[in-house]
């Protein structure tokens, strides 16, 4: 297929970051969005700093953890202590996590466009913001779900009521024995539904439906003018979003790879001519676009009057 040119590449040299993103969105036939931890952090949902120290002071005092990433892969002394931590973790990062302003702005920005989202975040940000669940692929699992630690059954179970009970009844960094969940099929301990260091997790019918819809989107727009937009994706799990997105850009000559990240990550040489790196804070970037669009609409309305 003949290669399609992107005006934002040839004419965007002196544009602001927000104008480049707006222009690319308007040019695209469809938008593929990859969302990583940087997007959550932009809205203040960080795994370090006061958010961590204020919610886990007892664990930090005992184990000298530096952040929730370190804590979430820690080998606990027993299941009672493990679930004392993870019940608070799930509440903080799923059940009680507030509505993210950037997610609302992203939803408004995508209104009326053909898009699909893949995320490595396991929180509730997209649900809370009211995104169409059939357009979001939670590749790395969900904090509000449990799975058998041995994977004996392809089932995931909601854990929210259990987490609330654990929070209410935990004492001295431990939950009571009767609250520790075990698999009803094989008796093994249950754990949070999240992809571990061996790249494994339980994947149920809902997961495979999300995966199918995601693949259908990729197939539908494989030869179209596709904006591949990466928001806050780093190298903690590059095999989930970053590397597939870069490979897609290389193999689809009509695609444009746009990455938004404050950190300086190397771009493969063979896609640099179809890459735009916006070294911007995601929250500020989306706010600027929203304000620019509101200003444009206001001027249009005044002109029409």
The binding site for Zn(2+) comprises: 148, 152, 183, 186
Q: What is the C-alpha to C-alpha distance for residues 202 and 148, in angstroms, rounded to an integer? A: 8
Q: Which residue has the tokens 């993870």?
A: 86
122, 141 Cβ separation under 8 angstroms: yes
| Annotated binding-site positions | 148, 152, 183, 186
Contact status, residue 201 vs residue 194, Cβ threshold 8 Å: yes
Cα separations (Å) of 227 from 20, 22, 248, 250? 12, 11, 11, 13
Which long-range contacts (C-beta less than 8 Å, at least 24 apart) are formed by 177-184? 177/80, 179/83, 180/79, 180/80, 180/83, 181/83, 181/146, 183/148, 183/149, 183/150, 183/152, 183/153
Task: Give the three-class secondary structure for 137.
Answer: strand
**3-class DSSP assignment, residue 145:** strand
Contact present, 285 and 16 (Cβ < 8 Å): no
Residue 158: C-alpha distances to residues 25, 79, 95 (Å): 36, 19, 12
> What dihedral do alpha carbons 294, 231, 36, 212 form, nearest 10°?
90
Measure CA 233 to chain center. Answer: 8
Angstrom CA distances, 254 to 27, 135, 199, 242, 271, stand at 11, 22, 31, 18, 12
């Amino acid at each position: 297929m003949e290669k399609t040119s992107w005006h934002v590449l040839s004419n965007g040299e002196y544009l602001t970051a927000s104008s480049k993103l707006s222009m690319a969105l308007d040019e695209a036939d469809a938008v593929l969005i990859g969302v990583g931890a940087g997007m959550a952090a932009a809205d203040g949902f960080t795994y370090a700093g006061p958010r961590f120290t204020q919610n886990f002071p007892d664990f930090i005092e005992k184990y000298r953890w530096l952040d929730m990433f370190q804590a979430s892969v820690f080998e606990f002394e027993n299941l009672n202590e493990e679930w004392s931590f993870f019940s608070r973790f799930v509440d903080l990062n799923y059940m009680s996590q507030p509505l993210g302003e950037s997610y609302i702005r992203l939803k408004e920005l995508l209104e009326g466009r053909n898009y699909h989202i893949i995320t490595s975040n396991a929180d509730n940000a997209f649900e809370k913001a009211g995104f169409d669940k059939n357009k979001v692929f939670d590749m790395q699992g969900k904090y509000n779900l449990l799975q058998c630690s041995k994977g004996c059954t392809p089932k995931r179970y909601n854990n929210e009521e259990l987490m609330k009970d654990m929070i209410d009844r935990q004492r001295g960094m431990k939950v009571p024995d009767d609250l520790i969940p075990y698999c009803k099929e094989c008796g093994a301990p249950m754990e949070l539904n999240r992809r571990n260091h061996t790249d494994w997790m339980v994947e149920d019918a809902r997961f495979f439906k999300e995966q199918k819809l995601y693949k259908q989107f990729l197939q539908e727009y494989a030869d179209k003018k596709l904006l591949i937009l990466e928001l806050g994706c780093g190298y903690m799990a590059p095999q989930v979003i970053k590397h597939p997105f870069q490979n897609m850009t290389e193999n689809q000559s009509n695609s444009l790879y746009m990455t938004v990240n404050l950190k300086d990550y190397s771009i493969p040489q063979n896609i640099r001519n179809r890459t735009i790196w916006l070294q911007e804070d995601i929250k500020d970037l989306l706010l600027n676009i929203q304000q620019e669009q509101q200003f444009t609409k206001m001027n249009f309305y005044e002109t029409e009057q």
